[in-house]
Structure 1
Amino acid sequence: MSRVWFSGALETVATFWRVARRDGVALGFTTHDADLWFDGLVHRAMPGMLPSAIRRSADLEPDSAEVEGALSHESISQADLAAGRFDGARVAIGVVDWQTLERHVLYRGAIGQVEEQDGKFSAELVSRKAELQRDPIPRTSPTCRAEFCGPGCGLSAARFTIEARVSAADLFANTVTIDGSIATDTLQSGYLRWIDGPLTGLTVEIAAVAGNQLTLAMPLDQAIPAGSRVFLREGCDRTVATCASRFANAENFRGEPFLPGNDLIARYPSPSA
């Protein structure tokens, strides 16, 4: 039998919320005055953190929630918020009995926009119901719609990912130089994931390649120590020619390269010479 929360005059109930960041870091917090361990995660005491409003509906309209609090815990820093480490993180908010650890999740969603002002932050939470508003029907396109090494592609990311070291980084040019001899020409439109250094866990797209020098799509705002390790994953230009010749994967191509486009409407016959 499920518990009826707040049915008594005095309840041993606290609020908890969990954050699962895209870089693999999981954080747990509670409004209780002591740390709580449940669901395989320590929920740190953070009495200043509270959900200011949670709205749930029985229809398909997205639920809404907001979380506000002071930046008082070392797990949440202004630098991480500014670097986007919490953008798109999955969030669960609920109530927990701090004596029996019986718990119930009230809200599930993801972090949208994060704002910081006067030492406090507010996070806009996007309900999982928002996924129902996404059109699941794919549109025709001459290039592949599948993510490289993702669902629909069929290729293993491990085959096209290598570990390397950064020998130098230029913050002004937004470039990093890779140590050693690797086939950098295949990294165009690929991804770099930091293993060491101040940006550990973050993934950034490779915008351009010139020899062993990689230009990143996101600006470097922190000094990168020489020798920092990274994962480099190859890129794909999503054309059927590349899919067939380079990856031998044309059977999984998710596009219509030979379908006439809108320019067919503007064509007109011309007299023969």
Structure 2
Amino acid sequence: MRVFFDRELDTVATFWRVYRRDGIMLAFTSHDRDLTFNGIAHRAAPGMVPAAIRLTADLNEDSAEVQGALSHATIREKDLAAGLFDHAAIEIGAVDWELLDSHVIYSGRLGRIEDDRRSFTAELRSAKRQLDEDLVPRTSPTCRALFCGPGCGVSAAAVTTTQSLAGIDLDRNTILFDGIDPSDFVDGQLRFLDGPQSGVSFGIISADVNGLVLDRQLVDGTPIGTRVELREGCDHTLTTCASRFANAVNFRGEPFLPGNDLLTRYGQPSG
């Protein structure tokens, strides 16, 4: 394997690949011309460089950061704002721009992205971040299971429907559909199948007479009639689990367990 930085002058450039959750992969290199290796074309983007990469042999999380100018055509400000790069998988490595030998140094996922309209800074989270997750479930009055996920038992296909957009209000950040009960989709998810935000997933935070209120900003140019995939939501209460989904047997919570305030209650005289 090629040993990098073993000489005073080295023909080494940085490369990084971004795997977005909508299936799009972007690849760049800090070299001044495009490089193709491992069957992947890497676009020249010398303005984007890793600011710092720290790798450890222990269980502490590896950290990295990448900075760059918003100048490349494939990284657009509106895509960052729309969340297309949120939690995308990423690889960073070194490549010999003459021999095209390469080695991945860091892999993880994109975390927080800060954009000041001139440049952006992206926090990278390594796979060691999963070691910080609490694997022991804690008691809670609501269900701990991810809706339609492991332990829930409700089929995602049974609560997912495809609808055509009947109305959109950019000022209220709401969308409207005909023939559905909006309240069923609160805390649910929405994904555009067409239009400028195709493939982008939204959370539904509330519903009213104006439609469904989304958790991220809609963009202009989405036409009426755009196909949208809607998945119902769940408030994780036992009542909803039993009455709407007939799924109380899989409820992962303790709704009748006394809380910590039981320890501070005073006894009350009878009568």
TM-score tier, shorter chain, comes to: 0.7 to 0.9
Say if 1:171 and 1:222, in contact at 8 Å, map to a contact too.
yes
What is the number of residues matched between the two proteins? 270
Distance 1:146 1:55, change over 3 A: same
Q: Which residue of 1 aligns with 2:73?
A: 74
Q: Which residue of 2 aligns with 1:222?
A: 220
Counterpart selection for 2:203 from 205, 208, 213: 205
Q: Which residue of 2 aligns with 1:15?
A: 14
Q: Distance in 2 between matches of 1:237 and 1:50?
A: 43
Q: Distance in 1 between matches of 2:230 and 2:182?
A: 9
**In the TM superposition, what is the alpha-carbon distance from 1:9 to its structure 2 partner?**
6.5
Identical columns (%)? 54
Which of 257-266 and 185-194 deviates more?
257-266
> Is 1:174 the counterpart of 2:173 in the alignment?
yes
Q: Distance in 1 between matches of 2:170 and 2:118?
A: 27
- Secondary structure of 2:165's counterpart equals strand
Say if 2:242 and 2:248, in contact at 8 Å, map to a contact too.
yes
**In the TM superposition, what is the alpha-carbon distance from 1:144 to its structure 2 partner?**
0.5
Unmatched segments (≥5 aa) in structure 2: none
Q: Distance in 1 between matches of 2:81 and 2:240?
A: 37
Counterpart of 1:150, as a letter, is: G
Misfit runs of 4+, over 4 Å:
8-12, 98-101
Counterpart of 1:181, as a letter, is: G
- Secondary structure of 1:65's counterpart equals strand
Counterpart of 1:144, as a letter, is: C
Q: Distance in 2 between matches of 1:68 and 1:17?
A: 12
> Is 1:132 the counterpart of 2:131 in the alignment?
yes
Superposition map of 1:1-273 within 5 A: 2-7=1-6, 12-32=11-31, 33-38=33-38, 41-98=40-97, 101-117=100-116, 119-178=118-177, 180-210=178-208, 213-273=211-271
**In the TM superposition, what is the alpha-carbon distance from 1:183 to its structure 2 partner?**
4.1
Coordinate RMSD, CA, aligned:
2.5
State the Cα deviation string for residues 166-206 of structure 1 (Å, max 9, x = none).
Answer: 1211122222111x423433212211112222222222222
- Secondary structure of 1:265's counterpart equals helix
- Secondary structure of 1:95's counterpart equals strand
Q: Distance in 2 between matches of 1:157 and 1:102?
A: 44
Distance 1:125 1:212, change over 3 A: same
Counterpart of 2:193, as a letter, is: I
Say if 1:70 and 1:120, in contact at 8 Å, map to a contact too.
yes
